[in-house]
Structure 1
Amino acid sequence: MEDKKERKKDKPTSSRQIFCLSGPIHLTSVDWNNFHDRRTVAASLVQGVYILERDRQQNRRDPLAHAPPWWEFFNFHLFHILVDDVDNSIFGAIYEFKFSNFNHNHSAQNSPHYVVAFRGTINKSNTRSRDLKLDLLCVRNRLHESSRFQQAMLAVERIFAVAGNSRIWLTGHSLGSAISLLIGKNMTKMGCKVEAYLFNPPFLSAPVEGIKSEKLKHGIRFTSSVVKAGLAVAVKGLHRRPEKDDPFSLLSGWKPYLFVNPADLICSGYIGYFEHRKKMEEIGAGKIEKIATQNSIGSLLSSSEQRDLEPLHLIPSAYLTINMCQSPNFKHAHGIHQWWDPGFIGLSELHEYDPLWWMRSYF
């Protein structure tokens, strides 16, 4: 029995875990003013969290650990590790940037002082059960109730208390991006707009993006908007003049960076979500969409307690980047590695929500 366990631990390590084999070694000098360089660094730091947990599972320690190069290559050091209190897995990390004469180039003033990164689901026996339970909480819009999120939120609040006005980034992948998104929303409401890089963030709605017919997709989205707006008026009384300080409007100034792949049905809904908002404005149905974009049918039909919670995936504004490269399969489309590929081709656009729409609507 012991021999079997040892053989299991000694399985060959995937090249995907080894920085010199699959990491962005092409990025020997980071231009912190360059959006693509920042994307590459943020994704690599998330991968560092994944490999920290895989090192733990495989009992790999220095000098055999594979995780350190994923942050040391970019002049970060590991400031703090976040450990889940249920399964003892590593789910997050706080990195601190090491300023020096060597890396202090003209763009260094835009480098983050700290980066808080969160991994997504790891489908291994050590982590599968806990991660899948959190995925389910995310789907049910209950992620805020988990101890993992509460630990993460407390860690971010503490680093803000320590760092003061220093530049702090949030980043995450999949489930980790959902945690980052929720933290970012909370911090914005507290008056701190944190820079966030969210890779494959879950869009918790029907996978309309999988439909090939653009006409049918638009019809489904239009009908959904009308239904959501009607339900919101009936349930919440949103036919009254909206308040300037409603929660959704308060978030409008925060513009996280979202990175999505059209072939990934977990996150591709963001493409249609923002495109549909533009189309509704163009056809003169902006008032309907302004109400619909803040709500989900699931939350509107739920209990009054759940109804008061903002759907996690609905956000007013964002820089949306779409990976335009072909993905051979879902695993690649949802993976983290695509976001530092030197051959990456992306389409980026800023989508902004106007919180003062009601002034033009009512006056």
Structure 2
Amino acid sequence: MAAAAQVNVSVWRDDDYRRMVMACLIEAVYLLELERQERRDAAAVAQQWWKPFRYRLAHELVDERDGSVFGAIFERDHQPAAAVDGEAPRAVIAFRGTLLRGPTIRRDVEDELRLLARNSLRGSARLAGALQALRATIERFGSENVCLCGHSLGAGFARQVARMLASSSSSSSPPSPRHHHHAAAAAAASLEFHLFNAPYLSLPMGVRSVVKTADCLLKAVRTGVAAVGRWHGKALKNVAYANCILGYTRLESSRRL
């Protein structure tokens, strides 16, 4: 038993393995929404992407306007009494990217345009729920035991809520005292991140008109963007999502042989 535990810890110390697991949890979020749209038991299908890594679905992040699932909180099924360096995160908050399907395309594209025009998701109706989920998870497990991950638009959500936590500038709460601000910034800095194909605004001159058009489309929901200082997470990654998913499918195939 002790030898098996040691193997488990050493596996989780491998960065490629950690990235693969996070990509799988994001894939689970995609499936939760896709299966919901098909009116099927979403968890029954999606659990293949979290159960092999000893996680469980603790909570879905749902857009109350249309019931779509845009993120999820996963918690470890079992944790040893003492924390061991390099072991799996006790909780993972994962965000999916855009789904170009009828039930959710409008909300997803709105947020994509918001990100394109402002390099920020301020004004998104989903943002408050995502930030609340992050704060509650940190309060329960401690920031050093929490991981944020997302793909494409989902990476934008992960980055945005961490920035808001660091700046303590949530529009839904009053300004925090100075020591609370420093505590929030420290909590954000100790989070683990895996951002796959993260969108960011770094555009050449030739496509500025695209940004201008997107900004015009968003004028109806303009809310203003708060200034946020420079911020970096503990393990900020921007890697190929598809490669990690392919790695998992290869691993599963080898196990069946």
**When the two structures are superposed, what TM-score results if normalisation uses the length of structure 2?**
0.69
For residues 134 and 159 of structure 2, the distance between their equivalents in structure 1, rounded to whole angstroms, comes to 12
Partner in structure 1 of residue 115 of structure 2: 138
- The equivalent position to 1:149 in structure 2, one of 123, 127, 140, is 127
* Cα shift at 1:90: 0.4
Deviation at 1:77, TM superposition (A): 0.4
Give the letter for the 1:46 counterpart: I
> How many Å apart are 1:42 and its aligned residue?
0.5
Q: 1:110 to 1:100 in 2, by over 3 A?
A: closer
Alignment of 1:192-271 (within 5 A): 192=187, 193=189, 194-206=191-203, 247-249=228-230, 251-252=231-232, 254-260=233-239
- CA-atom RMSD in angstroms: 2.7
Native 8 Å contact 1:144 1:150 kept in 2: no
> CA distance change for structure 1 residues 255 and 163 in 2, over 3 Å: closer, same or farther?
closer
Matches within 5 A, 1:24-103: 31-61=11-41, 65-99=44-78
Unpaired stretches in structure 2, ≥5 consecutive residues: 1-6, 168-183, 206-226, 249-257
Q: Is the 8 A contact 1:198 1:256 kept in 2?
A: no
Q: Within 5 Å, which residues of 2 pair with 1:94-133?
A: 94-99=73-78, 110-133=87-110
Query: What one-letter code is carried by the residue in structure 1 that aligns with 2:166?
Result: T
Query: Percent same amino acid at aligned positions?
Result: 32
After superposition, give the CA deviation of every residue in 1:334-353 in whole Å (9 maximum; x if it has no partner).
xx33223339xxxxxxxxxx
Task: Find the aligned partners of 2:41 and 2:196 in 1 and give their Cα distance.
Answer: 28
1:158 alignment partner AA: A
Q: Deviation of residue 72 (structure 1)?
A: 0.7
Q: Secondary structure at the match of 1:140?
A: helix
**Match for residue 246 of structure 2?**
341
Q: Which has the higher contact order (CA 8 A, sep 6+)?
A: 2
The answer on whether the counterparts of 1:39 and 1:197 sit within 8 Å (CA) in structure 2 is yes
What is the alpha-carbon distance in structure 2 between the residues aligned to residue 33 and residue 158 of structure 1? 26
Structure of larger gyration radius: 1
Q: Distance in 2 between matches of 1:184 and 1:121?
A: 20
- Separation in 2, partners of 1:170, 1:120: 14
Helix, strand or coil at the partner of 1:80: strand
Say if 2:145 is the partner of 1:167: yes
2:42, 2:66 → 1: CA distance?
Answer: 23
Query: Cα deviation per residue 1:41-77 (whole Å; 9 max; x = unaligned)?
Result: 01000001000001101111178x3101111111000
1:61 is matched by which residue type in structure 2? D
Whichever residue aligns with residue 134 of structure 1, its letter is: D
State how far apart, in whole Å, the 2-side matches of 1:179 and 1:88 are: 18
Following TM superposition, by how much is the alpha carbon of 1:140 offset from its aligned partner in structure 2, in angstroms? 2.1
1:180 maps to 2:161 = no
The number of equivalent residue pairs is: 199
SS at match of 1:342: helix
CA-CA distance at 1:207 after TM superposition: 5.3
TM normalised by structure 1 equals 0.50
Kindly provide the amino acid, as one letter, of the partner of residue 74 in structure 1. F
